[in-house]
Every structure is written in structure tokens, then in C-alpha cells.
Amino acid sequence: GVGPGNNDDTLLSAVASALHTSSAPITGQLSAAVEKNPAVWLNTSQPLCKAFIVTDDDIRKQEERVQQVRKKLEEALMADILSRAADT
């Protein structure tokens, strides 16, 4: 993120807000001027963060993480079911 008082929470809120209020792609601030004066809101349809690109590799890595977490959740739910069955 860029701008005064910006932290992870404000960046997440800005990106989430941009996703919910517009169907346009979220790219961040594309102008280099934001580096010189981050207090200036250069493109109001984009959150105050540096420009970024999501690559196919980024998407693949995130999909792998989702699959790993789903597998762990499945294992935890199965362990819970078996534990409950053993108690009855």
C-alpha cells in the first residue's frame, strides 16, 4: 500500500471495497507519481496501492494452497466424526 498511515488492514479494506463496488479489474495505482506523493489519490477507481499484476503462477500457487487447506479440513472433520462415533 501507499499513502500516509497505510497498513495491512487499510490496504485489505481498500482492495475489498474496490472489488465490491466495481466490476472493473483491480490494478492499483498505475502512475509513478504515487511514489513521489502517496497522499494524492490519482485514480479513484483503484485502491491506494502500488500497481500489481497477478500471474498465472500466482493463481496456481493460490489454488494449491486452497487444496492443501481443504485436505486438512477434511482430515480434521473425519477425525472429529470418528471421535464422536467412538464416544457413542
Residue in this structure with the C-alpha cell 464422536, named with its chain if needed:
84
Alpha-carbon gap, residue 47 to 12, rounded angstroms: 9
Alpha-carbon gap, residue 63 to 56, rounded angstroms: 10
User: Which triple of cell numbers denotes residue 22?
Assistant: 466495481
Is the pLDDT at 77 greater than 90? The verdict is yes
Q: How confident is the model at residue 82 (pLDDT cuts 50, 70, 90)?
A: very high
Q: What residues does each domain of the chain span?
A: 1-53, 55-87
Quote the pLDDT of residue 29.
84
pLDDT tens, 47-69? 888 888 889 999 999 999 999 99
Alpha-carbon gap, residue 87 to 33, rounded angstroms: 64
User: Which triple of cell numbers denotes residue 49?
Assistant: 496501492
pLDDT tens, 5-52? 778 898 888 889 988 988 888 888 887 777 777 667 677 788 888 888
